[in-house]
Amino acid sequence: MPDSPPPLHIAIIPDGNRRWARAKGLLAWNGHQKAIENFKDLTECCYDDPRIGTLTVWCFSTENWKRDPQEIGKLMNMLEEYLQKERKGFAEKQTRFLHSGRTDRLPPSLVTLMRDVMEETKNFNRFTLHLAVDYGGKDEIIRALRKAKNPSSLSEESFRSLFDQPSLPDIDLVIRTSGEMRTSNFFLWQTAYAEWEFVDKFFPDFTAKDLMNAVDAFEKRTRRFGT
């Protein structure tokens, strides 16, 4: 009897929040707020699907600091409020929480909260929720190289151990919303053999059904990994 495939690592680039808000005559952070509400439904959907073991969501990139400071501040507050509300549920659902990205530029209260929740949930293995905040693929690789004591002796395995979350499996499927067809510096190493799905919807309009359609389509693809 063949072994069951390992649970999938799904990643989402939730693009189009500000455009969604502008189209409705709203402020940019209204789009982010709707996106966080939407994100809760998607997380529940992934948790309930036995095919999925990890969900990664890119919340804020290393390049997003170029945006309006007021918008950035509100987004950081929203992320903190989300984690405060959800941390009890993580324990109830045996969900491990992880963060990738820099911490030196984030609000100290958010950094402390993320570290506390990671510590509280580190032994859970039912499902993993992984948020990328102040994250960039190039930045992670540079930071990993700076940790290396002897870069010339690195192997793929030893280099990977220097990443923010080396225990995570590589990403199987990346879903990017809003119709944009760019990889945009997203987990450059971990997506080396990922499949991509570009969805022509702003993220606040992206539904659990859309997510399941993407996963269903992924399962029909043939992954060759260079062979």
d(CA 137, CA 15): 17
d(CA 56, CA 43): 10
Helix, strand or coil, per DSSP, at residue 54: strand
Count other Cβ atoms within 10 Å, centred on residue 89: 13
DSSP state of 151: G
The amino acid at 126: R
Is there a catalytic annotation at residue 185? no
SS3 1: coil
Q: Could you confirm whether 15 is annotated as catalytic?
A: yes
Identify the active-site residue in 3, 64, 210, 213.
Answer: 64
* H, E, C per residue of 152-195: HHCCHHHHHCCCCCCCCCCCCEEEECCCCCCCCCCCCCCCCCCE
Place of tokens 């799905």: 197
- Positions marked catalytic: 15, 64
